Chain A
């Protein structure tokens, strides 16, 4: 069964550094998402991406964050200058078109900012 893959599984970075989290969505999916989950807490929506542009973003997704689909397969989340509070699990997800279709999530990247 096709799956969403995320790399790396764990990233440790120092405060103020830039990080890029990488994702390969399922190949025939059209919608891409980033979510984050601070340890043991709620899964929070960051951004959705469709047709090579952001379709929706949350209040969390400020100017520090950006997303890109640099080629036909990868989907990246960049955090420009990390803060301690950016430490979380970041999930990439993708879905087909249609309201009944679920989001398929990757296994996540655990980001630790020190």
Chain B
């Protein structure tokens, strides 16, 4: 069964420091996509970054980067130079290509940035 695991229910980081949010997944499909979303306290879901299973390089998008380790089945989100506005819930999600177009979400990690 396909599964996304985010083991950190909550994380703290000091402003301007980097933080890594963990995500592991379980699939036997060779083709899949990994997505990270941010959900601020206002509730909307904001797409941050995408990594494909066949992508040779780790994805980067501004201050966001993905530490993709395919053999370990992990896709950790790295946020550099944390800002107070980064305080939010972060969800890892997976699209299993063999099983339609939906995204399956992990349980999320709450990040709090301290000043």
Contact = CB atoms under 8 A, between A and B. Distances in A.
Interface residues of A, number: 25
Contacts of B108: 42-43
Interface string B91-115: 1010101011111111110000000
Contacts, number: 58
B100 A55 contact: yes
B43 interface: yes
B35 A50 contact: no
A100 B105 contact: no
A50 B101 contact: yes
A68 interface: no
Interface of A: 31, 33, 41-45, 48, 50, 55-56, 89, 91, 93, 95, 99-100, 102-108, 110
